[in-house]
Structure 1
Amino acid sequence: MHPAISRLVDIVPPAAPPRPRDWTTVEAALGTPLPDDFKQLVDVYGGGLFDETIWLLDPGCADPGYELLAIAAERDEILADLWDGGEPKPAELLDGEARVIPWAYVEGSGHYLYWLVRPGQHPDSWTVMLNEGRGPEWEHHQQTCAGFLAGVMTGDVESFYFDDLPGMDHTFVPNDEILTAT
């Protein structure tokens, strides 16, 4: 198990085992392999909400608002429209072949967490980009998604957008519990 996921499991144990994912199909639909730490994270926890703040996007989620492939397509379109309309791209994306792929959403804020995908870079080396969602500001963190998530939950990540974390108690609620309750 990836060390950051082991750290997360120590911080907040997973709920019931999630349903299996067909990673081959997901990766084919995205046109790229995904980082192993993300696949392990979803295989251990499933999609859901960490500390009432960070929604881990889930391939195959019944609600398209939290489904990895649906959100990736939506965010591609939204970002392309913003950048075509004159909003500046972050410096990390000025190389025309670099792109971002969303992997999490920040509850109630409009913020998205993305992987920074650079040509020729192995997915396990992808780092985290955060977009404020309702404006042009971006943060770049030199960590994998699981490392970033664990760091936010322990206070080891410094981010303007997570100044209220970590909390005293940590929680994880799977999508299946949240989305079937509404």
Structure 2
Amino acid sequence: MIELTGWEPLGISVDWAAIERELGVPLPTDYKELYEVFGGGVFSDSVYFLGRDEGPGAFDFLRQWRVGLSVDRDSKFGDVSAVAPYAVYAPGGKGLVEWGSTEWADEYFWLIDAERPGNYPILARSNDVGGWVRYDMSTAEFLCRVLADADFQPFGIAQYNLGMMFEPGSGAP
């Protein structure tokens, strides 16, 4: 990813242990490395990468996860979930945690199962597909394929020639 974007690593320090205690599971190692290098922000003017942005929160996956979990658990919405047929991950359970999206409303999640820590399949959905697509690959590989592989459909954006750059989010150092 560094070579693709020409990005100079930021070396962001994050208290991953505190975040993982709140979630009840460890996060993917490659995701943590990506965040420490890039921070939260936007790749190629269209792919939003969520991290731990303690600023206003636009790129803060933890804040968005908390809101999603609160809404998912709110009884006034009944059994309807924004990530149906799944649920938003709750500590100790099984569900989705969003880590990225696009300006075209594509969404990227990990399917986390507290009973299977270290296993992080990616579930992605797009309005073009109409359902969930599962990928058994790392976060970094998925993101790289989205950005650089024109044949990675329906999620690849390389065919649009948007360039390979990164713009840090609001809370970047």
> Shorter-chain TM-score category?
0.7 to 0.9
- Residue in structure 2 matching 1:47, options 40, 48, 52: 40
Q: What is the distance in 2 between the residues matched to 1:130 and 1:83?
A: 24
Q: What is the distance in 2 between the residues matched to 1:157 and 1:127?
A: 20
Gaps of 5+ in 2: none
Structure 2 counterpart of 1:169, which letter? G
Q: Give the RMSD, CA atoms, in angstroms.
A: 3.3
Q: What is the distance in 2 between the residues matched to 1:80 and 1:161?
A: 29
Tell me how far 1:66 sits from its aligned partner.
1.5
Q: What is the distance in 2 between the residues matched to 1:169 and 1:163?
A: 10
Change (3 A) 1:164 1:72: same
Tell me how far 1:11 sits from its aligned partner.
0.8
Q: Which residue does the alignment assign to 1:101?
A: 97
Tell me how far 1:156 sits from its aligned partner.
6.2
TM-score with structure 2 length normalisation? 0.77
Gaps of 5+ in 1: 1-7
Tell me how far 1:83 sits from its aligned partner.
7.9
Change (3 A) 1:98 1:30: closer
Tell me how far 1:170 sits from its aligned partner.
0.5
Matched-pair contact (CA < 8 Å) for 2:25–2:114 = no
Residues 117-137 of structure 1: CA deviation (Å, up to 9, x unaligned): 1343232x312111348x962
TM-score with structure 1 length normalisation? 0.73
Matched-pair contact (CA < 8 Å) for 1:83–1:89 = no
Q: How many residues are treated as equivalent by the alignment?
A: 165
Misfit runs of 4+, over 6 Å: none
Equivalent residues in 2 for 1:126-141, closer than 5 Å? 126-132=120-126, 137-141=131-135
More helix by share: 1
The 3-state SS of whatever aligns with 1:100 is strand
The 3-state SS of whatever aligns with 1:129 is strand
Q: What is the distance in 1 between the residues matched to 2:109 and 2:36?
A: 19
Tell me how far 1:41 sits from its aligned partner.
0.4
Q: What is the distance in 2 between the residues matched to 1:86 and 1:43?
A: 31
Q: Which residue does the alignment assign to 1:20?
A: 13
Q: What is the distance in 1 between the residues matched to 2:53 and 2:117?
A: 24
Tell me how far 1:100 sits from its aligned partner.
0.9
